[in-house]
Amino acid sequence: MHKEAQGGHANTEAGKPFYRILYVQVLIGLALGVLTGHFWPEFGAALKPFGDGFVKLVKMMIAPIVFCTIVSGITSISDSREVGRTLVKSMALFYLLTVLALLAGLVAVWLIQPGVGMHVSVSTLDPSVAAKFTKQASATGFTDFMLHIIPHSFFGAFADGEVLPVLLISILIAFGLSRAGDGGVVVTKAVASFSHVLFVSFGFIMKLAPLGAFGAMAFTVGRYGIRSIGSLGLLILTFYIACSVFVVVVLGTLARLNGFSLWKTIRYFKEELLIVLGTSSSEPALPGALRKLEQLGCRKGVSGLVLPMGYSFNLDGSAIYLTLASIFIAQACDIHLSWGQIAAMLGLMLLTSKGAAGVTGSGFVALVARLSVMPDLPVTGVALLVGIDRFMSEARALTSMVSNCVASITISLWENACDREVLARELGQGSTPAVATAPTIAVAPVMREDKSWISTTQSAA
């Protein structure tokens, strides 16, 4: 199935002029956005609705796509205990990666010391900047976070568009269908067919990706200007170095230990990563990444669980940013932190870094939330970062996206839910499957030993 679908797409891509390939169009949109924002800043800043509109279109599709992917995936799993193992292993890997990400940011800012010598007086910092984000950044405890996962109503989860409540509903419905007998067969078929329709529709939306990337980049450069990087350029460079080292060393090692190539994986998801770069948000890449993980040979029931979970529990780019930005504020304001204070800060960030949304600016809001409960650092220090945060959000989103893709493949391999031959072939080819050519559209009910029904997918070909 995978070979036929992939081969057909490879032939199609090979026959296309280069300017009709999506990732090339996105690159062109990014370049035009930089030029427009630089030479016509007011006009570039006015193009913000193009980027915002594209992100809203994609977010509109995320909740139903996640629901259909998880439901059809879990109903195809004969052993329900596999779902529990997947959840436990995913959380364990996510917390390990988060710890390493926090340490990566700490080591980078400690070695390069971008804030040393600035001698900023806390009394001169503008408190209104932090106050603007305080309501968004209200810190909640673990209990509040867990209760927030439960939506107010069934359809409320889809209306709000938050991934975790949709994830909860999807798991409940999937287990219900697995035990519903004949009554669940019709619903299972309907979910699988609706999933196909959603991915085809999403393919139409993705044709607007170059326009969205153009508008978002033109706004960023036009509003903040490339020159604004100059004053805090060392901080930005430090952050990019920390993210690069985390991806190359940590994620590269994880991929190598599990028998696949990080670089080939990045190349395989290049379209999604370019869209993340243009929009500064990882959410537009979620539907396409789900489809490509399936094309890589990952079973939908596993990868469909791990990737959406990662969007709330594995924000490694934001974790790097939290420690790096916090220590930078301490360096800039000449505040000495003991190793005990730093250890307490890391513990707090580890416990409270989960559940943030993967949208533009979420890392900055998370920073305000953490500083507001840390008496050792002034929350007003975020005023030093607000002007350049947009230029750092791309690296946050890209790092988290790569980490979640690698984690999804890794967990699938751990669960023997990924065909290694398909994985090696797809990554070796380097071409990526078209979103609109979803190969899995038919569902056949299969009787279990306990007389309940599960669905098995069949190739459209």
Model confidence pLDDT, tens digit, residues 417-442? 899 999 999 998 654 444 443 443 33
Helices (H), 225-338: 233-245, 252-257, 262-268, 270-279, 286-295, 300-313, 316-332
Tell me if 440 sits within 8 A of 290, measured CB to CB. no
pLDDT at site 387: 67
CA atoms within 13 A on the CB side of 284: 31
Residue 157, both tokens: 């989860």
> Which residues of the chain, if any, have pLDDT below 70?
1-16, 78-80, 124-145, 224-231, 351-363, 369, 373, 387, 429-461
pLDDT of residue 404: 94
In the chain, the domains with their CATH numbers are 2-439 (1.10.3860.10)
**Predicted TM-score of the model (pTM):** 0.74
Q: Which of 357, 186, 394, 358 is nearest to 280 (CA)?
A: 394
Instruction: Give the pLDDT of residue 454.
Output: 42
Q: Is 219 helix (H, G, I), strand (E, B) or coil?
A: helix
**Which amino acid is present at 280?**
S
Residue 56: which of 205, 219, 203 has the closest Cα?
205
What's phi and psi for 457, nearest 5 deg? -85, 150
How far is the first Cα of the chain from the last one, in angstroms, to the nearest whole number? Answer: 8
Q: Is 96 left (phi over 0), alpha (psi -120 to 50) or beta?
A: alpha
Pairing of strands 440-447, 453-459: antiparallel
Distance of CA 199 to the CA centre of its chain: 18
Are the C-beta atoms of 106 and 324 separated by less than 8 Å?
yes
* Longest Cα separation, the chain: 72
